[in-house]
């Protein structure tokens, strides 16, 4: 992979990931941009013990621009974008409207000075990952070679963000579809470098720690073995990965793609594992789009081990889920889900898996 680091007009870093032998990236960002100003902070909820981020400056971020003004497309004469070049393979750049940023100022304090609710600067890093220069494409329409390039970019940036002072967890993800809340339709994802370990990861680590202590084995390893043996919820599989509907699925469409070997994060994957993931994931995405004969809105979230602790308990995996429960019906997170975090699914995991298998 050819990796080229450049900078945008306001100083933000942009990194091009190209195939070997590609032309050098030399175009300059000619826009007149103000400096990025992020005033993020995090506050600790005294009732749950969970950190909540406050990023009021994001209210002014780009919202559903017309296709000819898409900031993620390559630049054209008279229409400069976030990517100065006329074309690209995969590109990553610092978010102009970040939830967390390295240069956030401030010192630890508490809300109103009462000592009850700790406040910290929202230091971290947020990046945008553009999967392709094709505005009308999608991740599922990429070739296996293109997916492998994205995998390498994810791994590179996971390693890079893990070195940022204060970052405790790195989270690559993709939001797809207006039903999910996407405001830029160009195929892209994001990577967050959080200044804390997220609540979901903390809970998963607690469960993994207790299971390991009782059984001497990783819980996800046993779940994976059981799913592969049963086959009732398996959607797709390869030499190194298996995709299945989790046995306690919350969402009307939900798939976990798990490597057969326990690794903490994306950089730990071998070349063969990265190649195999591309085949398995593309199979899953094509089934998802065929499920309702329309592009499926989804979130695809990488679960990685924390940067500085519990690396032995983490087991890398990708979780894809959708709010679409029928071709024209959404699952709303109403009273039970939103109020009490108790999920009620309108379909069984076995039914979800059978529908996805049939969609293939």
288 is in an annotated binding site: no
Q: Distance (Å, rounded) from C-alpha 89 to C-alpha 18?
A: 6
272-292: pLDDT as tens digits: 999 999 999 999 999 999 999
Element (H, E) at 110: strand 109-110
Paired sense of beta strands 188-194 and 118-121, if any: unpaired
Burial of 235 (0-12, 13-18, 19+ CB in 10 A): buried
pLDDT of res. 62: 74
Taken in order of first residue, the domains within the chain and their CATH numbers are: 2-197 (3.30.428.10), 200-359 (3.30.428.10)
239-277: pLDDT as tens digits: 999 999 999 999 999 999 999 999 999 999 999 999 999
pLDDT of res. 174: 98
**Cβ pair 35, 9 in contact under 8 A:** no
pLDDT of res. 58: 82
* Mean pLDDT in residue range 153-163: 98
pLDDT of res. 37: 84
pLDDT of res. 56: 84
pLDDT of res. 68: 87
Q: Distance (Å, rounded) from C-alpha 148 to C-alpha 161?
A: 20
7 is in an annotated binding site: no
34-68: pLDDT as tens digits: 988 888 999 999 999 999 999 987 877 777 888 88
pLDDT of res. 61: 75
Q: Distance (Å, rounded) from C-alpha 204 to C-alpha 221?
A: 13
Structure confidence at residue 175 as a pLDDT band (50, 70, 90): very high
Q: Distance (Å, rounded) from C-alpha 274 to C-alpha 66?
A: 35
**Eight-class DSSP state of 34:** P
Give percent of the chain above pLDDT 90: 93
* Mean pLDDT in residue range 210-218: 98
Q: How many CA atoms lie within 13 A of 288 on its CB side?
A: 32
pLDDT of res. 38: 85
Residue 113 falls in which region: left (phi positive, over 0), alpha (psi -120 to 50) or beta:
left
pLDDT of res. 312: 97
Q: Distance (Å, rounded) from C-alpha 345 to C-alpha 325?
A: 9
Q: Distance (Å, rounded) from C-alpha 12 to C-alpha 26?
A: 16
- Could you give the angle at which helices 219-230 and 199-215 cross, rounded to 10 degrees? 80
Structure confidence at residue 303 as a pLDDT band (50, 70, 90): very high
Give percent of the chain above pLDDT 70: 100
Strands (E), 35-98: 41-44, 51-54, 90-94
Spatial CB neighbours of 203, under 8 Å, sequence gap ≥ 6:
none
Please give the full DSSP string across 316-356, using - where no structure is assigned: -EEEEEESEEETTEE----IIIIIH-----SS-HHHHHHHH
Catalytic residue among 7, 57, 188, 260: 188
Residue 337: is its pLDDT beyond 80? yes
Residue tagged 């000819």 (tokens) = 68
Q: Distance (Å, rounded) from C-alpha 129 to C-alpha 131?
A: 6
Residue tagged 């591309």 (tokens) = 278
Residue 188 appears among annotated catalytic residues: yes
57 is in an annotated binding site: no
Q: Distance (Å, rounded) from C-alpha 197 to C-alpha 268?
A: 20
Residue 171: is its pLDDT beyond 90? yes
pLDDT of res. 272: 98
* Mean pLDDT in residue range 135-152: 97
């Amino acid at each position: 992979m050819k990796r080229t680091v450049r900078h945008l007009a306001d100083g933000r870093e942009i990194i091009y990931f190209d195939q070997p032998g590609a032309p050098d990236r030399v175009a300059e960002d000619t826009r007149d941009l103000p400096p990025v100003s992020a005033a993020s902070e995090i506050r600790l909820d005294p009732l749950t013990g969970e950190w909540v981020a406050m990023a009021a400056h994001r209210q002014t971020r780009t919202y559903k621009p017309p296709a000819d003004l898409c900031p993620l497309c390559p630049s054209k004469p008279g229409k400069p974008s976030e990517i100065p070049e006329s074309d690209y393979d995969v590109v990553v750049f610092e978010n102009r409207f970040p939830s967390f940023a390295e240069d956030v100022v401030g010192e630890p304090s508490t809300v109103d000075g009462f000592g009850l609710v700790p406040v910290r600067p929202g230091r971290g890093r947020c990046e945008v990952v553009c999967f392709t220069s094709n505005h009308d494409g999608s991740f599922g329409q990429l070739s296996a070679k293109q997916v492998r390039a994205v995998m390498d970019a994810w791994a590179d940036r996971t390693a890079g963000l893990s070195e940022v002072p204060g970052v405790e967890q790195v989270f690559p993800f993709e939001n797809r579809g207006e039903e999910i809340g996407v405001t830029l339709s160009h195929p892209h994802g994001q990577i967050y470098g959080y200044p804390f370990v997220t609540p979901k990861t903390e809970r998963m680590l607690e469960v993994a720690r207790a299971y390991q202590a009782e059984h001497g084995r990783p819980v996800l390893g046993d779940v994976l073995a059981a799913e592969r043996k049963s086959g009732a919820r398996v959607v797709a599989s390869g030499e190194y990965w298996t995709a299945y509907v989790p046995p306690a699925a919350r969402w009307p469409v939900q798939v976990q793609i798990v490597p057969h070997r326990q690794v903490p994060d994306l950089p730990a994957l071998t070349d063969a594992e990265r190649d195999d993931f591309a085949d398995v994931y593309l199979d899953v995405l094509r089934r998802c789009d065929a499920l309702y004969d329309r592009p499926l809105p989804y979130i695809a979230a990488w679960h990685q081990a924390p940067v500085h602790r519990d690396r032995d308990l983490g087991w890398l995996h990708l979780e894809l889920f959708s709010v679409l429960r029928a071709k024209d019906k959404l699952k709303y997170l109403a009273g039970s889900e939103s109020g009490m975090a108790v999920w009620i699914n309108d379909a069984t995991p076995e039914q979800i898996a059978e529908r996805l298998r049939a969609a293939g």
